[in-house]
Every structure is written in structure tokens, then in C-alpha cells.
Amino acid sequence: MPKKKRIWYPGAMYHIMSRGNRKKELFRNKIDYQYYLNILKSIKSDYPFSLSSYCLMKNHVHLQIKTKGIEIWKIMRQINLYYAKYFNKKYDLVGHVFQGRYKSKLIVDAAYDIGLSRYIHLNPVKAKIVSTPEHYNWSSYNIYLGEKKDNLVDVDNIFSYYFCKNPVSRYKKYCESGIVNGDNDEFDNW
């Protein structure tokens, strides 16, 4: 049966999720996490896109991507292919690294866009890996706080929703309210 074609147009924004095959780990150590981030940087230079947020969990990845002139499936095919080749070679494995095709959901409004960013950044908190998102090294949250510099992530997309002089503190407060209120579950079942 043919795969359902994904909706795409220049400027389309997506929530992307890729999971390890059989829910097994995608990242075994710091080098694996860093290698994946390096792949994102490399693909971004070859297939331009804007990355609003990311979180690399042990067995899955969340990306918040806005496309430019390249279809999302071309971008994700390259990212997942390069990482799968690296992972299989490094650990002397064969076969699928990722569980099926990546999942994607089109982001169609501002509320979903900003809520998704919070969901992605709170993923390690929800998984009880850390108590606050700034303690997790493999997400873009600390880039939002200005504590880590990286040209991979474009915080301006999310910060554009805050009409104030200090969007950093407003965004931090918004994210932390998701921990206290537990109102970040709407993105789990998609």
C-alpha cells in the first residue's frame, strides 16, 4: 500500500518525532547526541530550514521545523539516513534504527506553535529525567534562556509571539507553568 503523501508548501511548519526501532535507544552516549546535532547542522546548510526547538531523548527525537524551499520528507530522509548509517556502523548493527517513518504534524496556528515548543522542552521533565528543563543538555531550552549559544536554533520564531522587551523571562515563565500545572499533555496523542 502506498504511503500517504505529507502536506508540504514553502514555509510549512511541523512537529517531527522519530523513535528508535522497537522503542530502543537512539543515543547511547554523549558522542551520539552530539553527532545527531552535527547532522542537523550539516543538513540545514544543504537543505535550508528553520529549527525552532528540539529535544533528543534516549529513544526518540522531537523537532520543530519550518521548511523553506525544500520538502520536509527530503530533509528528514537525509537526517535519519545519515544518523542510521552512523549508528549501525558505530555499534556494528544492521537493519532499521528508526521505527517506521517519522511522524509529522502540520503546525497551523500560533497557539499550537508556542505550546509545542513548551511540550518539546518539557519532555525530559515529564519523563522524570530532570526536575527542570534547563538541567537537560540535549534540548534547545538553554539556547532560549541565552545560556548556550548555537546557530542551529532560531528562537525568533517563538519569541515573535511575545510583544515585550524581555521575551526570555516570559518564555521561561510560560514553560515552567507547564510543570506546575501539568497542562502539557495535549501533544502526546497525535
94-152 residue pLDDT tens: 999 999 889 999 999 999 999 999 999 999 999 999 999 999 999 999 999 999 888 89
| Sign, CA torsion 124/41/30/72 | positive
* Confidence class for position 165, pLDDT limits 50, 70, 90: confident
pLDDT higher than 50, residue 190? no
Give the count of beta carbons closer than 10 Å to the beta carbon of residue 76: 23
- Which CATH fold would you assign to the domain 13-185? Alpha-Beta Plaits (3.30.70)
d(Cα 156, Cα 144) in Å, to the nearest integer?
A: 9
* Residue boundaries of the structural domains of the chain: 13-185
pTM, 2 dp: 0.93
